[in-house]
Chain A
Amino acid sequence: MIRNNEFLFPAGRNGVLLIHGLTGTPTEMRVLGKGLHKAGFTVHGMQLAGHCGDAQDLLATGWRDWYASVESAFDRLRAQVDQCFVGGLSMGALLALRLAAERSRQVDGVGVYGATFRHDGWNIPWIARLSFLLPLFTRLGGGRTRTFMEQPPYGLRDERVRAQVGAAMLAGDSGAAGLPGNPWPSLAELYLLSRAVRRQLAQVTAPCLVAHASDDDIASLRNAEIVARSVSGPVQMMLLDNSYHMITLDRERRSLIARSCEFFAQLATRNVYKEAAS
């Protein structure tokens, strides 16, 4: 059964929508959300369709459902604030970029955290690196019941966090820690989304903070570079040398929170001046 793990921290008239990753949960965005809230932002950590339940719940959905849930969460938040920013982790970063491409007048800035177009990090087994072939394979009926199981370090360099997340995930607490593996059909959906978003990156005109672990175990730095060289808006890069893929929870989370607060706050102030001048 799907559990609702969304969070809403109401504050001022500047809002941030936070989007978790594939098989993930809003919990992975919560610490960042609290930091942004402390800095005065209204923060909504949304929950993607089909997530925080079991594998069957996830398999009943595809990337278009996930994106539809992002749009609907964004519309709800947008109605409560004057300026709206969006940030996503891993696949959530792709969904955030798609939203920024399709709603370029409504999205005022994007936090692109550990963007994952392709699972090509150092901890991905060679067979899983071929997962970009999955859309074709699953269309032919293959691998419907197969799953790529997550392997330690689970995208986490911080051993305390890794121990807790690993334990919760393997105990079946998907609402708190996410599913312990990626079902092949869902990964195939991620690759379909990835293709669609790559084609749209030039339409992203909002400023982007592209943060990525330089030693990312799940998605190599090439994923961040794709964003940096393809979007049309200004880009700030932030490389994290002491974290793995889950940068919102890992060792440098506090630096990431501080940089995100600064990035969104600067944009909010600049936009207010711009509006006053026009």
Chain B
Amino acid sequence: MTANIQQEVMSTIATRARIDVATITPQSTLASLGVASLEAIEIIFEIEETFDITLPEDSTALKTETVQGLIEAVQRALADKTKKPGDS
């Protein structure tokens, strides 16, 4: 599952930034990949759409957020989604 999330996140970034997915590492930041601010927003929207989640507004300082940070944010949002009401 984690590998799928990583693959999906990286492929979304690669498509939007028009770069080879092989150049993206978990440590890359969106800024270092040449992603402009509004493209970053589109990437976030697309990731939310793909996984049917809403990432918290304060979870990502988009320009400096690493790809790994994004992957972890998606994992947390997916875990929250599957949590049953009343679970702690």
Interface residues on B, range: 10 to 19
B58 at the interface (CB under 8 A from A): yes
A/B pair count, beta carbons within 8 Å:
39
A31 at the interface (CB under 8 A from B): yes
The answer for the CA separation of A176 and B60 in the assembled complex, in Å, is 21
The answer for the CA separation of A167 and B41 in the assembled complex, in Å, is 12
Residues of chain A lying within 8 A (CB to CB) of residue B41 = 160-161, 164-165, 249
For residue B88, give the distance in angstroms from its CB to the closest CB of chain A.
27
B38 touches A160 (CB 8 A): no
Of A31, A168, A254, which is within 8 A of B36 by CB? A168
Of A158, A176, A253, which is within 8 A of B57 by CB? A158
Tally of contact residues, A, Cβ under 8 A: 19
Of B38, B45, B46, B62, which is within 8 A of A176 by CB? B38
Beyond A159-B58, A164-B38, A167-B37, 8 additional pairs, beta carbon < 8 A: A158-B57, A164-B62, A165-B38, A168-B36, A168-B37, A176-B36, A176-B37, A177-B38
Closest 10 CB pairs of A and B: A164-B37, A176-B38, A159-B57, A168-B37, A164-B41, A160-B57, A167-B37, A31-B45, A161-B41, A168-B38
Some 14 contacts from A to B, beta carbons below 8 A apart, are A31-B42, A159-B57, A160-B60, A161-B41, A164-B62, A165-B37, A165-B38, A168-B37, A168-B38, A173-B36, A173-B37, A177-B37, A253-B45, A254-B48
